[in-house]
Each structure stands twice: as structure tokens, then as C-alpha cells.
């Protein structure tokens, strides 16, 4: 089964930028109820989608103080547990981070390795791409970051 996930977060100066559980050295970061790990949020939605388990907001509502400042790697671990219980197995994940700056090319490999570890996948089965929005729209103006992710699940 294929699953698709999308997430967007607002960017602001002085906030931290965490992508795939990796803290990126950046003067701007995501504004969020949780730790704002927009990449993990999109990957979670892709996995939940493939499993037919709804979306991230149903499982971890941002109105619940339980998830305030939540470490997104923990949410991802919980979701990995959910699919295991469903007898499902993750095959691969492909994601694209759309962000004007900072440049993510120096960080992609580290993000991939961390995400592969969290997903219990070999690094080759996790692909992280980065692009800009060519200075157009809210992403191009540096106001936000978006991530699109797909994944494949199979029955064990
Ligand atoms: Mg989010």
C-alpha cells in the first residue's frame, strides 16, 4: 500500500529547526505546538495513510497539552508500533523538503541516516530530497517550510 503525507510549518527567527530528529544550525526555525519537526510529521501522515489509520491530528491532537513541545521522534516510534500491531511492514520512504533557506544539502545525509534508524530501514530505503520554491510564494519568501512524503507498506 502506498501512503502520502504533507505538512507545513511557519518559520520564525530564534525558533529551532529540527528535521528528521536532527537539529539544524539555522537562525530561523519552525513555529509549532510540538517540536515542529515538519519532516517527521509528513512521514507519519504517509505511514498512517498507507496503513489506513487516519492522520497525525487524530492520534496526537495539537489541542492536547500532552503533545505540547512533543519530541516528534517519539510520535514516530508510536506510529511504528501501530503498524507493527496491524501486521504491516515499511518498505521505503521518499520525502522532499521545500524550503528557501538554510540550504539543506549539507544536512541531507545526516537526516537520512537518523530517519532510517527511526524507521528501522536500511539507509538506501530512505530518500531525502530538498528543493526551494524559486523565491515564489510563502515558501519562497522564507515564511514557511513544507514537506511532501510517500511511503510503501506491505503485509508481513
Ligand atoms: Mg506539523
**Digit-coded pLDDT (tens) for 73-118:** 999 999 999 999 999 999 999 999 999 999 999 999 999 999 999 9
* pLDDT of amino acid 50: 98
Ligand 1 mean position to 29 CA, how many Å? 13
Ligand 1 mean position to 41 CA, how many Å? 5
* pLDDT of amino acid 57: 94
Is 0.75 surpassed by the pTM of this model?
yes
- Buried-exposed string 100-132: b where 16+ CB fall within 10 A, e elsewhere: beeebeebbeebbebbbebbebeeebbbbebeb
Ligand 1 mean position to 154 CA, how many Å? 26
Per-chain residues with Cβ under 5 A from ion ligand 1: 7, 41
* pLDDT of amino acid 144: 98
Ligand 1 mean position to 43 CA, how many Å? 10
Question: Residue 42, CB half-sphere, CA atoms under 13 Å: how many?
Answer: 25
Residue 34: pLDDT over 90? no
Ligand 1 mean position to 37 CA, how many Å? 7
Amino acid at each position: 500500500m502506498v501512503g502520502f503525507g504533507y505538512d507545513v510549518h511557519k518559520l520564525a527567527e530564534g525558533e529551532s529547526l529540527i528535521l528528521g530528529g536532527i537539529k539544524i544550525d539555522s537562525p530561523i526555525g519552525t513555529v509549532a505546538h510540538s517540536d515542529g519537526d515538519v519532516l517527521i510529521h509528513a512521514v507519519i501522515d504517509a505511514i498512517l495513510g498507507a496503513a489506513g489509520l487516519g492522520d497525525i491530528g487524530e492520534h496526537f491532537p495539537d489541542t492536547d497539552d500532552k503533545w505540547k513541545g512533543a519530541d516528534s521522534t517519539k510520535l514516530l516510534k508510536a506510529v511504528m508500533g501501530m503498524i507493527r500491531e496491524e501486521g504491516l511492514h515499511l518498505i521505503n520512504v521518499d520525502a522532499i523538503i521545500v524550503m528557501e533557506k538554510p540550504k539543506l544539502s549539507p544536512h541531507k545525509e545526516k537526516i537520512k541516516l537518523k530517519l532510517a534508524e527511526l524507521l528501522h530501514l536500511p539507509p538506501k530505503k530512505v530518500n531525502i530530497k530538498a528543493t526551494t520554491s524559486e523565491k515564489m510564494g510563502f515558501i519562497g519568501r522564507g515564511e514557511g517550510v513544507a514537506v511532501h512524503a510517500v511511503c510503501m507498506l506491505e503485509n508481513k
